[in-house]
Structure 1
Amino acid sequence: MKKMKNWLLTGLFFMIVSTVFSQGKVTGKITDGTGGLPGANVVIKGSTTGTSTDFDGKFTLTTPSNTGEIVISFLGYDNQTVKFTVSNAGTTDLGTITLVASNSNELSEVVVTSSIIDVAKDRKTPVAVSTIKAAEIQAKLGSQEFPEILKSTPSVYASKAGGGYGDSRIAIRGFDQKNIAVMINGVPINDMENSSVYWSNWAGISDVTSAMQVQRGLGASKLAISSVGGTINIVTKTSDMKEGGSVSSSFGNNNYLKTQASYNTGVMKNGLSASVLFSRTAGDGYVNATEFEGYNYFIALGYKASDKHNFQFTFTGAPQWHDQRSQSPLLSDFLKYGSNGTDPNIKYNADWGMRNGEQYNLKTNYYHKPVMSLNWDYDINSTTKLSTVGYASWGRGGGTNTNGGIRGNNAYSTNNSLRTADGLVNFDLIQNWNSGQPTTLGTRVPVNGRYENSADTGRSSTGVINNTAGISQIASVNSHNWYGAVINLDKKFSENFTFDFGVEGRMYQGIHFQNLIDLLGADVYKNTADVNNNPGYFSTTYAPRPNGNPFVSTDYQDRINYWNDSKVNYYGAFTQLEYTTGNFTAFLQGAISQQAYQRIDHFKYTYDSPLAKTGFKTITGGDIKAGANYNINEHHNVFVNGGIYSKQPFFNAVYPNNASIVNPNLTNEKIKAVEVGYGFRSGIFNANLNAYYTTWDDRFTTATDQAPTNPSGYYTFQGVNEIHKGLELDVTAKPIDKLKLNGMISIGDWKYSGNATSSRFDVANNPISGDQPLYLDGVKVGNNAQTTMAIGAAYEILNGLNVDANLNYSEKLFGNIDVSKFSAANNKGAMELPGFATTDAGVSYKWNISPKIGALNFRLNVNNVFDKIFINESFTNIFTSDYKTAPTTANPAGVTYAQAGEVYNGVATANRVYFGYGRTWNFSLRYDF
C-alpha cells in the first residue's frame, strides 16, 4: 500500500509539472493604427481564458495549449481572430495587431454576460436595429438631452419639448415614448401606470452607458413590454471593467457646467471588482428661467466566485431639480415678445416672473429615482445558463404648479391683469393680493382675521369671490415603490436549437397627492377636497427639491386637493426557440402576462365606502413574434419578422376620470406588425433597407367634459385605430482610411384608420349621451416628423485630431390633434408645420501623454450651427384658413387668420407651439488614467 501511494504521488507530481511546463504565453499590442487601445478584450477562442490590454494596448495571455486562436474585440471596431503557436513554457509575440473601425450596427463587441439582455446581432437577429456606441455618446452628446443622440437614426424624432433639463421626448415610427420600451440591462423602466419615461430621472445614464441599441418595431425582447414603436436597449458599464479612471469637465452656453469623476478597480485576484462614478451638472438653461442642478452617482460591485458564478450589484440614481416651461405659449406671444413683431423670441417662457426682485418660476420639477439591482449569472454547464436579476426603485418627488385664482384669472392665463407688460407673471401683484394689500384689482377680504387661499378661482355663478380666492403654488407629488425580478433559463439543445424560458414579476405602488410649496403671501390654505376632514387648514410648506435619502418616506407631508394610491402587479412568463444553421436563423417567441390594478383613495370617498379601496382588476395580455434571417452570402442578407401584441391598458383607462369605478368599455389595445429588411455589407460600404406595416387598434383616449352642467364628467373615444407604414434606409461608408460617411432617410405614412365614436359619462361612469361619430379616417398622426433625413461625415485631419458634422432634416410634421374636434365629416385633417434642417458639428483631439501618465481628450460641439429658427411641436391644430372672427349677420364672410395677417411661416399665430433650440455649444476636457 505504501509503494502504491508513492507511485500515485510521483505520478501526480509529474502531471502537475507537465501541465505547468506545457503552458505558454502569448503577447502582443493592439492598436487602431495610430495608438494603443487600452481595455481591448483578448480571449482564447472556444474558452473562457482571456485578458485585457493595458493602457498602452499591450497584453500577455497564458495559454494551456500550444496552438489555437485568440479573438480580439473592442467597442467600435470589428472583431479580429489571430492564430498562434507557442512552445512548452515559451512565449510568442504576435507583434502589433491593428483593428479596423466598425461600420456595422453590431453590438457583439459589448461584453453581455446575462441572457436577460436581448441584444440584436447583425446578420442574425431579424429586426431593424441601430446601435450607438459609447465613444459616440461620449463625444457627441455634449449638453444635449440623452434621446437626442438618436436623432440621426431612421424613423426617430427627438424633441426638446418645453426645453427644461430632462424634459425632452422621443418617438419611433410615429409612436410616442409611452409606446416605446426602454430597457436598462434588460430591466424595463417605463412607468407602470402610464408607461411614461421621464428623462430627467435618467439624466445621468449617458455617463455610464457602454452602448445603446434601438430595435425598431416589436424588437427582439422576450418580455411582453410596450414595444409598439420600438425598444431602446441601454447597456451600462459593469464593475469588471479594466482598472483605471477618468476626470472630466464640460462647460457651454448659458452657464452650463458639468464635472465628473470615475474609477474602476478591475477584477482583482480574489474575484472582487468595483466601479464608481459621480457627476454634477448645472446651468441656467437655454430657455428663459429654466435653471437646473442635477447629480449622478453609480456604484457597481462584482464578484466572480468561479468560472460558473458571476454576481453584479449596481446602485445608481440622479437626483435633480429644474425649472420648466411646461405650458406651450401662443405663437403670437413668441412674436409679441420678440423683435419687430416678426422675429420670435424662441426663449420666451410664460411660466415665470420676478418676485421681490428675484427670478421665480411657477413650474419646478424635482425627483430622485434610485435603482438597485443584483444580477446572478450561473453557467450550469456548457449548454445551460441561468440568468437572474432582482431590482428595486424608490421614486420620490413631483412637480410644482399653481391652483386657485384672483377674480377668475389664474397664474397661467395670458394677456390678463396678472401679467406684466413683458409677458411675465406678476408675482408681486399676486403676493400683494394674497396678503391683503391694495392692488389694481382691489383689496382682498380676510376670513376670521387671516387670508385664506383655496382651490376657488375667484369667480362663481353667483359672482366674484374675494375671501377664499387667492393663488398658491402647490406640488403634485408622484412617488412610487417598485420591486421586480426576471429569471431566464437559456438551454442549447444542439448546435442548431436554443431554447429560452423565463418568468417576470413586478410590484408597483404609486403615491399621489398635492402639498403646499408657497402660499405667496397668504396665511393658510383651506382644503375642502378631503371628505374625511372637511375643511382642513394647512400652512406648512415644502421646498421643491429632491431628498438625498433614496429611502425617505413621504408620510410626514401634508396632503391637499387629492390623495390616492395606485397599485399595479404584473406577472408574466415568456419563451423563445431559436434555430440556427449555416446562413439561416429563425426564432419563435411568445409571452403571456397578467396585470392587476387597484385604486385606493383617501380623499374622495369616506373611509367606510367600498370605493375607498377597490379590489384588483386583473387583465391578461401577451404577444407572439416570429422572424427569420438569411445570409445570401458574405455581402447580402434578408430578413422578415411579424407579431401580434395584446397590450393591457394604462391605469387611467381602467379607472378613468380619477375615480374608483372600472371603465365599462375596458379592452386591450391590439397591435399587429410585419417587417421585411435587406442588408448589404462590404469593406467600405454598408446599407440597410427596411419596410414595415403596423396597425394599432382600440386605443383608449379620454377628454374632460367642460360643460357647466357636468364639470366632473368625461368623454371616452372608442375605435381609435392607427396604421403606421414606411420605408427606412441607412448607410455607412469608409471610402478612405481617414474618412467615414453616414446617411439615412425614413419615409413614413402614419394616419388614423376608420372613424371612431365618442361617449359621454358622468362622474359615476353612467352614460349620459349616446355614441357620437368622430370622422378620423385618413387624418395624419401628429407631433412627429413622418419624413426624416440625415447625412454626416467624420474625418481624421491629423493623428488624434478629428472633425465631424451631421445634417438632419425633418418634414411632414403635423400638429397634435384633439380627436374630440373631429365631429364633422368635412374636417380639414391635421395641420402641417414647415420642414426644417439643422446642422451639428464637432472637433475632437486625443493626446496620449504616456502610458504611465495617461491621455487628455478635448471636444468642442456646436449644435444647430447656422442658428436655424424652427417650430418642432404644435399642441393645437388651427389652420390659417380657420376663422379668427366667425361669420355674423353684420359680416357673413367672417375673417380668417390669413385674412387678418396673423400668420408666421405658414402657421396661424393662434396655435400653441414650441420652438427648437437655436445655436448652442459646449467644450469638454477629459483626463483618462
Structure 2
Amino acid sequence: MKKMKNWLLTGLFFMIVSTVFSQGKVTGTVTDGTGSLPGANVEIKGSSAATSTDFDGKFTLNATTSVGEIVISYLGYQSQTVKFSVSNGSTTNLGTIVLESNSNELSEIVVKSTVVDIAKDRKTPVAVSTIKAAEIQEKLGTQEFPEILRNTPSVYVTKSGGGFGDSRINIRGFNQNNIAVMINGMPVNDMENGSVYWSNWAGLSDVTSAMQVQRGLGSSKLATPSVGGTINIVTRSSDKKEGGSFSSGFGNARNFKIQGSYNTGKLENGLSASVLLSQTMGDGYVNGTPFEGSNYFVALGYSTKNNKHDFQLTVTGAPQWHNQRSTVSTIATYQKYGSLDEPNIRYNADAGYLNGEMYNIRKNYYHKPIASVNWDYNINETTKLSTVLYASMGRGAGASATGGIRGKTYNDLVAFRTADGLIDYDKIYAYNSGQPVFINGFTGPQTRAKVGGVYQNTFSTGSNAPGGASTGTSGISQTSSINSHDWFGGVINLNKKLTNTLTLDFGLDARTYTGYHFTVVNDLLGADEFYDNSVASLKPAGRHITATYPTDVQWNVFDKKSYEKISFNSTGKVRWYGAFTQLEYSKDNLTAFIQGAVSQQGFKREDDFVYLPTDPLSSTDYENILGGNVKGGANYNINEKNNVYANAGYYSRQPFFNSVYPNNKSTVNPNLTNEKIIGFEAGYGFRSRFFNATVNLYNTTWNDRYLKGNALPTSATIPANSTYTEYVGLNEVHSGIEFEGYSNITEKLKLTGMFSYGIWEYKGNATVNAYWQADNTPVPGYSATTVYMDKVKVGDAAQLTASLGASYEVLTRVTVDANYNFNDNLYAGISPINFASPDNKGSLKLPSYGLMDAGFSYKMLTGKNKDKSVNFRLNVNNVLDRIYIAESRTNTFADDFISGTSGPTYQSSGQVYKGIATSNQVYFGFGRTWNFSLRYDF
C-alpha cells in the first residue's frame, strides 16, 4: 500500500512538472484583414514569454504551460486575446489572427501617455490619416520627411528651394506656421513665429513609430496653432522588443546614408534602453547644395513590476549643415541655362566657385536636440497621471550675403555671372582685396578704393549704408543671422474615469522660450575689415571688426559662445501658461467630447543695439495676451461597418512675436488683435474586411489674420526698402471635401486612393497701412488703403489633389508598387498690396501636374528560426521625369504688358512657358530621383 502511495505521489509530481515545464510551441499569423502586420507584439498572458511577428506577420512562442492565453498588440490596432492549448513537445498553430481597426488608430496600449492626443478610429470625431513606421522606412528614401504625407488628402508638400530639409508642408491651404507639430505630446512649433524647420528634424524618419495627420482643429487638448491641422509624431520607445538593425542606402547625387540601432527589450528588473545612430550626406539634387547630417536617439525606460509607474527618458537630435537655393529665379533664367522647352531645373543662382571649389554663400547650419522625461502613473484603475517635461537648446544660423559692389548684390543677374550662370566668387574675392576686375555691365576694369587705409566691407542697404555702397568703397561679405534659443516646458494631464461612460481630463501646459537673434561675420571674402554702425551707444564712430566665425555645426549646445555682433542684436522672450480640460462620453456606439483650453502668452523684447541702455525700450515689460479654444464633437457607429461623425470648434489665437513687436523694434503694435478661427466638419466612414473608406466635409473661417507685407514701391518721396506694410481685416474661408480609401482586391493586390477638392478664398476686402522702418510711424497718405481681396484664391498649395496607388506581391516577399499623384488648382503665392485695384486679375493659376513613383521590395528571412531578415528596397520618384512648377512667388499673367500700360504682352512676344509668363519667379520640383537601401534586422 505504501509503494502504491509513493507511485501515486511520484506520478502526480511528474504530471505537475510536465505541465509547468512543457515546451510546446504556439504559432500563428497576425494580419489586419488586408495584409500582414510585421512587428506586432505577442506575449503569453501572465508570463515573461514574448516575441514579435516577422515580416510576414508570423510568430512562434515557446509555451511553458499546456493552456493559456496570448495577447497580441500593434500600434494602430485593438489588442486581442486568444486562448491556446498545446501538448508537451508539440506545436499548435492558431492560424490567422485578424486585429480590428485600420491605419487611422493608434492604440493607447502602445501610446501609454494621455499627454499624446491620438485619434482613434470610429471613436475620435476628426479627419485623420496615419502613416506607419514600415511605410516611412520603406518609401521615404531620399525624400524629405514631410513628403511621405503627399498622398494624404488636402496635403501639399514641396521641396521649396531644394536644399536638405528645406521642404514645406501645407494642409487645407494653411502653411506650416499654422499647423501644430507634436512629438510625443510636445509642441515643437517655434514659439516666436510658429515655424517648423524640417532640417532640424531630419532624423525623425529614423525613429518614428507612426505619424498621424489630424486635419482641421484636431484632437489635441493643448491650445496649439492647429488652424489647418496637427501632425502627431510618435517616436520609438525604449521598451521595444530586443533586437536591432543595420542599414545602408545610396541614391543619385551621391546620396549616402548609414544607420544602426539596438533595443535591449524590457529586462526583468524593469529597465530598457534603445539607441540609434545614423549619418547621411550627398551633393544635393540642386546644383551647389551639398549637405551632411547626423542623427542620434537614446531612450531609457523603467517600469515598476506592478506597472503603476512608467518612466521614459528620451534624447534626440539631428545636427546638420546644408547649402541652399534661396534666390528664386525667373522661368526665363531657368530657360537661359537650359532650353525653352526644358528649363534647367537644377539651376541655383546662389552657387558658384571659389579657389577652384564649389562655393555657396547661402548655407544653413543648426543643431536642435530635444530631451524629454515622460512619467505615467497609474494611480488606480480609474485614475492616471501623465507628465512630460522637455527641454530644447537650438544653436545655429542661416548664412547669406551682406554688402554690394558698385551697387550690385552678389546674386545680380549680370554683374558676377559666368557664362553658365554661376556666381564668380573669385571675382568678388579679387575685387574685395583691391585687385582690378572686369564686372559685367561696366566699362573697363573696376578697382576698389580703401577707407582709412584698409579695404572695408559694410552694408549695402538700410540705415548703415554709406554712400560708397554704390561707388567703389564697399564690398561683399558672408554673414550669418543667428537664431538660437533655449526652450523649456512641461505638460501634465490627469485622466479620471468618472463612471463607466464618462472620462474627465484636466491638465496644465507651461513653456518658456528665449530666442537669441544677432548677426556675425563669417567671411570677408578678401577684405580687411567690416564696418558696423548699428550700436546706438557707439554712434557715430561705429566699430571696425576683423573677427570672423566659421559656419560649422555647434555640437555642444551648452556652450554660449561669445560673438562680436553686427547689424542687430535682440532677445525675444515668450512665456506661455495654459490649462485645458476634456469631458468624454462613451457608451455602446456613441462617443462624444467637449474640450476647452485657455492660455496666456507674454512677449518681451530686449535690444541693446537700437536702443541706449538708459532707454526703457532696451528691455520691455511682458506684453500679455489671453487666448484659448473650445471644441466638441461626436462619433456614432451605425453598425460594424458604418460610422458618422461631426465636430466644431472656435479658436482665439494670440498673434506671433513679430506681430507684437513689428519690424525689429520694441514698440508694441497698437493694432494687436487675436486671430479668430471657426471650424466645422462632418464625416462618414466605412469599414469592411476588403474595403475601408472615409469621406470628410469641412469649413474653416480665419478672421483677423495678421500679415506683414513688403515695402511700398520706390518713389520720389519713398526711398527703397524704407517702409513696410501691415494688413487689417484680412479674412479667409477654406472649405472642401476629402476622400480616402483602401482595398485589398486579392490577398496579393492592394489599392489605395485619395481625392480632395478645396475652395480656399479670401473673404471680403481688407485694408493696408504703411509704416516707416526707422521708427514704425505711419507713412502719410498710406493709411487704411483698401485692397480688394474678396474671392481671391489662396495661393501656395494645390486645391485639388488626388492619388492612386497599387501594391502587388509578385512572389513570396517580392513586392512591386506604384503611385500616381495629381495636383491641380495650384495658385501662386500673393502679396495683397498687388490687389489695390478692384479690377485685379486675382491669383495666378499654375499648370497642373502629376507624378508617378514606383518601388521594388524583397525580404529575405534568415536565422535558425527565420526571425531575422535582410530587406532590399528600390525607390524611384517622378519615374516619368516630369518637369513641373511646384510654387511661384509672383503673379504675372501672360496677357500682362511687359512694361508700362501698353505695348507687347508676354503672350504676344512669346515669353510664356506652359501658358505662364516667363518673368515669374518660381521653384521647379525635382526630376527623376532614385535610391536603394539594404537593411538587416535581427
**TM-score interval for Structure 1 and Structure 2 normalised by the shorter chain:** over 0.9
Q: Give the deviation of 1:548 after TM superposition.
A: 1.7
**1:32: how far off?**
5.0
Give how far 1:355 is off: 1.2
Aligned amino acid, residue 539 of structure 1? T
How many angstroms does 1:852 deviate by?
Answer: 6.2
Q: Displacement of 1:547 after TM fit? A: 1.3
Residues 627, 642 of structure 1: 8 Å contact kept: yes
Residues 1:131 and 1:360: Cα distance change in structure 2 (over 3 Å): same
The answer for the alignment partner of 2:810 in structure 1 is 797
Equivalent pair of 1:256/1:284 in contact (CA under 8 Å):
yes
Output the CA distance in 2 between the equivalents of 1:76 and 1:224.
25
Give the corresponding residue for 1:315: 315
2:511 is aligned with 1:506: yes
Match of 2:442 in 1: none
Q: Secondary structure at the match of 1:456?
A: coil
Please point out which of 485, 499, 506 is paired with 1:480.
Answer: 485
In 1, Cα distance between equivalents of 2:244 and 2:523: 44
Q: Which aligned pairs between 1:327-726 and structure 2 lie closer than 5 A?
A: 327-339=327-339, 341-414=340-413, 416-441=414-439, 442-456=446-460, 465-466=470-471, 468-534=473-539, 535-554=542-561, 556-706=562-712, 707=714, 709=718, 711-726=721-736
How far, CA to CA, are the matches of 1:632 and 1:338 in structure 2? 59
The letter for the 1-side match of 2:917 is: A
Deviations 1:752-792 (A, max 9, x none): 00000011223433333431111000000001000000000
SS at 1:736's partner residue? coil
Q: Residues 51 and 634 of structure 1: is their aligned pair in 2 closer, same or farther, counting only changes over 3 Å? A: same
Secondary structure in 1 aligned to 2:705?
strand
Q: Letter of the aligned partner of 1:717 in structure 2?
A: Y
Once the two structures are superposed, what CA deviation does each residue of 1:157-215 show, in whole Å capped at 9, x if it has no partner? 01010110000000000000001000000101000010000000000101000001000
1: CA distance, partners of 2:504 / 2:615: 50
- Per the alignment, in what secondary structure is the counterpart of residue 803 of structure 1? strand
Structure 2: distance between partners of 1:267 and 1:533: 61
Q: Look up the match of 1:862.
A: 876
CA distance in 1 between counterparts of 2:38 and 2:849 reads 41
Amino acid at match of 1:214: V
Cα shift at 1:99? 4.1
Q: Partners in 2 of 1:545 and 1:811 — Cα distance?
A: 41
Give the deviation of 1:50 after TM superposition: 7.7
* CA–CA separation in structure 1 for the residues paired with 2:738 and 2:18: 56
Contact 1:256 1:282 in 2 (8 A): yes
Cα offset for 1:31? 2.8
Cα drift, residue 342 of structure 1: 2.9
Q: Could you tell me which residue of structure 2 aligns to residue 111 of structure 1?
A: 110
Contact 1:814 1:831 in 2 (8 A): yes
Q: Which residue number in structure 2 is paired with residue 765 of structure 1?
A: 776
Q: Distance in 1 between matches of 2:745 and 2:895?
A: 50
1:750 and 2:760 are equivalent in the alignment: yes
- Over 3 Å counting, the alpha-carbon distance change for 1:35 and 1:444 in structure 2 is closer
- Residue 872 of structure 1 corresponds to 886
- One-letter amino acid of the counterpart of residue 408, structure 1: G
Amino acid at match of 2:545: F
Question: 898, 915, 920: which is aligned to 2:924?
Answer: 915
Shift of 1:558: 1.5
CA deviation map 1:636-686 (0-9, x unaligned) = 000000100011111000000110000000000000000000000111011
What displacement does 1:386 show? 0.4
CA shift, 1:95, in A, is: 2.2
The CA distance in 1 between the partners of 2:37 and 2:466, in whole Å, is: 75
The Cα shift of 1:426 comes to: 1.7
Q: Structure 1: which amino acid aligns with 2:913?
A: Y
- Equivalents in 2 of 1:119, 1:61: separation in Å? 34
Deviation digits for residues 506-526 of structure 1 (CA, Å, limit 9, x no counterpart)? 000000011011101000000
Q: Is the 8 Å Cα contact of residues 41 and 50 (structure 1) preserved in structure 2?
A: no
Q: Which residue of 1 aligns with 2:196?
A: 197
Report the Cα distance in structure 2 between the residues aligned to 1:249 and 1:593, rounded to whole angstroms.
45
Q: CA 1:697/1:37 → structure 2, altered by over 3 Å: closer, same or farther?
A: closer
CA RMSD of aligned residues (A): 2.6
Q: Is the CA contact 1:78–1:99 (under 8 Å) kept in the aligned structure 2? A: no
Equivalent position of 2:7 in the other structure: none
Which of the numbers 910, 920, 930 marks the counterpart of 1:901?
910
Structure 1 counterpart SS, 2:639: coil
Contact 1:103 1:732 in 2 (8 A): no
Deviations 1:325-365 (A, max 9, x none): 012111100001003x3320000000011112211102110
Structure 1 CA distance, aligned partners of 2:52 and 2:470?
75
Question: 1:503, 1:792 → 2: CA distance?
Answer: 43
Letter in 2 for 1:347: R
CA–CA distance in structure 2, aligned partners of residues 470 and 238 of structure 1: 53
3-state SS, counterpart of residue 767 of structure 1? coil
Task: Output the TM-score relative to the length of structure 1.
Answer: 0.93
Give, in angstroms, the shift of residue 67 of structure 1.
7.9
CA distance in 2, matches of 1:37, 1:226: 34
- Matching residue of 2:252: 253
Quick one: distance in 1 between partners of 2:169 and 2:611? 38
Whole-angstrom CA distance in 2 between matches of 1:884 and 1:506:
52
Sort the Cα spacing of 1:465 and 1:632 in 2 relative to 1 into closer, same or farther, 3 A: closer
CA-to-partner distance for each residue in 1:244-298, whole Å, 9 max, x for gaps? 1110000000100000000011111111111000000000000101000000000
Matched-pair identity in % = 55
State the match for 1:8 in structure 2.
none
The alpha-carbon distance between structure 1 residues 504 and 788, as it changes in their structure 2 partners (threshold 3 A), is: same
Letter in 1 for 2:637: N
Alignment-mate amino acid for residue 787 of structure 2: L
Aligned match for 1:57, one of 36, 56, 59: 59
Aligned to 2:739: 729
The 3-state SS of whatever aligns with 1:479 is strand
User: In the alignment, is the contact (CA less than 8 A) between 1:25 and 1:62 conserved in 2?
Assistant: yes
Shift of 1:77: 7.1
| Corresponding residue SS for 1:548 | coil
State the Cα deviation string for residues 445-484 of structure 1 (Å, max 9, x = none): 1122210100035998978754541100100110000000
Q: Is the 8 A contact 2:76 2:107 kept in 1?
A: no
Deviations 1:816-857 (A, max 9, x none): 110111110000000000100000000000100124683100
Measured in 1, the distance between the counterparts of 2:16 and 2:558 equals 57
> What's the CA shift for 1:714?
2.2
Q: What is the alpha-carbon distance in structure 2 between the residues aligned to residue 452 and residue 492 of structure 1?
A: 70
Amino acid at match of 1:754: G
Q: Is the 8 A contact 1:164 1:323 kept in 2?
A: yes
Q: 1:641 to 1:23 in 2, by over 3 A?
A: farther
Retained in 1: the 8 A contact 2:906–2:912?
yes
Letter in 2 for 1:135: A
Larger displacement relative to structure 2 (22-31 or 675-684): 22-31
**Within 1, Cα distance between the matches of 2:349 and 2:622?**
42
State whether residues 30 and 97 of structure 2, in contact with CA within 8 Å, keep that contact through their aligned partners in structure 1: yes
Query: Residue 495 of structure 1: CA displacement?
Result: 1.3
CA contact (8 A) 1:30 1:36 kept: no
One-letter identity of the residue aligned with 1:455: F
Give CA-to-partner distance per residue, 1:97-138, whole Å, 9 cap, x none. 434587542222871111101111110110000010011111
After superposition, the C-alpha distances for 1:397-446 in whole angstroms (9 at most, x for unaligned) are 011000110111111222x2222222221212211111111122511111
Residue pair 1:159, 1:170 contacting (<8 A) in 2 also? yes
Q: Which amino acid aligns with 1:430?
A: I
Could you tell me how far 1:26 is from its partner in structure 2?
A: 8.7
